Amino acid sequence: MPVVACNAGLSFEMVADRTALLAIDLQRDFLDPEGFVAASGADLSAMRAIVPNAAALIAAARASGVTVIHTREGYAPDLGDMHALKRERRVAGRDGPLGRFLIRGEPGHAHIVECLPLPGEAIIDKPGFGSFYRTDLEALLQERGIERLVLFGVTTQCCVSSTLREAVDRGFRCLTVEDACAATTPALHAAAIEAIYGESNLFGWVSDTARVLQALKA
């Protein structure tokens, strides 16, 4: 069982049949120049830079037989699954080049071509930031005997961190792949990663793509 990271005397081991890679929100609305994030005026360069690492992790997990689960943030066309605060802030639903932003079924809601799910791989459609919020992710993990999660995707401070905190509260061992996550600014990414390290690694382990790939290929 390859050790991917170690802190405070505790190690994160890649146990193939007990581990899942959670690819978080690698969608066109977040990573495409015509998507939701780009329309807000944000610079996509830091987020686009992690795509090769994310794709490499997915490919290595598939080759080694480790479960891959994909998530997508998106809402019903009538916004019926969006709470009032998000509706007031117009988080989703506006028209854009890839259809209505963050609406399920629109082109922008789809995964980027580099990280498309394969047939049979689980896709968690979530009406919120965290991947456990109003989804069947926990039941899916329990059904498959998964107790360890390797998290990566976008954005570090929002959907990745929200999912990480939800997972830790449910007792999952979590490893965040630092150079396969990104935010719209390096400062937000760095702060989110630092929070994982804080208080004796309160939110689990942090590693890099190279070490995770090595463990997957071992």
Catalytic status, residue 25: yes
The C-alpha atoms of residue 26 and residue 153 are separated, in whole angstroms, by: 6
> In which order are the strands placed within the sheet that holds 205-207?
122-126, 67-73, 19-24, 148-154, 173-182, 205-207
Of residues 29, 86, 115, 159, which has the active-site annotation? 159
Which helix (H) or strand (E) segment holds residue 59: the answer is: helix 51-64
Question: Where in 92-160 does DSSP place strands (E)?
Answer: 95-96, 99-100, 122-126, 148-154
**The one catalytic residue among 86, 115, 125, 126:** 126
Query: Does residue 81 sit in helix, strand or coil?
Result: coil
Q: Where are the beta strands (DSSP E) in the chain?
A: 3-7, 10-13, 19-24, 67-73, 95-96, 99-100, 122-126, 148-154, 173-182, 205-207
Asked if 181 is an active-site residue, the reply is no
Judge whether 28 and 109 are in contact, CB under 8 Å: yes
The catalytic residue among 25, 29, 32, 179 is: 25
For residue 58, the surrounding DSSP H or E stretch is helix 51-64
Which residue, 170, 49, 162, 65, is CA-closest to 121?
65
- Mark whether 81 is an active-site residue: no
Residue type, 21: L
Catalogue the active-site residues.
25, 126, 159
